[in-house]
Amino acid sequence: MPEGNPVRVPDDGLTTRARRNTPVLAVHTGDGKGKSTAAFGMALRAWNAGLRVAVFQFVKSAKWKVGEEAAFGHLGRLHDEHGVGGAVEWHKMGAGWSWTRKAGSEVDHAAAAADGWAEIARRLAAQRHDFYVLDEFTYPLAWGWVDVDEVVEALTARPGHQHVVITGRNAPARLLDAADLVTEMTKVKHPMDAGRKGQKGIEW
C-alpha cells in the first residue's frame, strides 16, 4: 500500500529538502486506458495544493475530454471566485488554439501543434504555471511535427519549480530518458473488445 521510502540516497550533493522539491517531469505512455485520466487526477491534486494548473490538449477533435474540461472549469471558478485551490487554464488545439483563433476548420495540424509547443515553451520560460498537462503530446513528437530534442532541452532547462506531465502512446526514448517518472498503462481487457461503446460519465 505505501510507496515507501527511497531505496537509496543518491550522491548528488542535494539535501533531502532540495531533492524533495525537485519539480517532476512525468510521462504516461502505453496502449492502455488511464494515461490522460491519471494526469487529470494528478492535476486535481495539484489544484487542491494551490498550484496553478494548465492543460494543453494536443488533439484534433474539440469533442474529446469535455467532461474533464467542464470539471476543471468548475475548479477554476472555485479558485477565481472563492480563493479555493489553484488557478486553472485549459487550452485545446481543436481547430486552432484559443490564443490564435485561426479561422475555419482548414487548420494545419502540424503547424498548430508547433504553435502549441512554442507557446508552452514561452510559458515555461516565464514560469506562468506550476503544473502543466501536455495531453496527447507524444503524437506530434512521434509524427515529427515538434522536434523532440528541442522539447527535451526546454523541459530539462525549465526554470523554477514547474511540474510537467506528458501523455500519449509511443513516447520517444529521449523523452523517457529525460523524465523522472514514467508509467506505462497496459490494456489487459477493455469493454470495447466486447463490442461495447463508450458511455457518458465513463468515457467522457
Task: Estimate the crossing angle of helix 66-82 against helix 35-48, to 10 degrees.
Answer: 10
Q: Nearest approach, Cβ of 125 to a second copy (angstroms)? A: 21
Closest listed residue to residue 138, CA positions, set 29, 47, 39? 29
Among 9, 111, 118, 125, binds a second copy (CB under 8 A): 9
Alpha carbon of residue 3 to chain centroid: 23
The radius of gyration computed from the CA coordinates of the chain, to the nearest angstrom, equals 18
Q: Does 110 bind a second copy (CB under 8 A)?
A: no
Cβ-Cβ contacts under 8 Å for 15 (sequence gap 6 or more)? none
| 50, three cell numbers | 494551490
Least separation in angstroms between residue 126's CB and a second copy is: 20
* Selection from 184, 138, 148, 179 nearest residue 22 by Cα: 179
Residue 193 sits in the site that holds a second copy (CB under 8 A): yes
Stretch that binds a second copy, among 36-44, 99-107, 115-123, 151-159 (CB under 8 A): 36-44
Is 49 a binder of a second copy (CB under 8 A)? yes
x-or-dash pattern for a second copy, window 118-137, by CB under 8 A? ------------xx----x-
| Residue range at the interface with a second copy (CB under 8 A); choices 11-19, 95-103, 121-129, 150-158 | 11-19
Tell me if 186 contacts a second copy by CB under 8 A.
yes
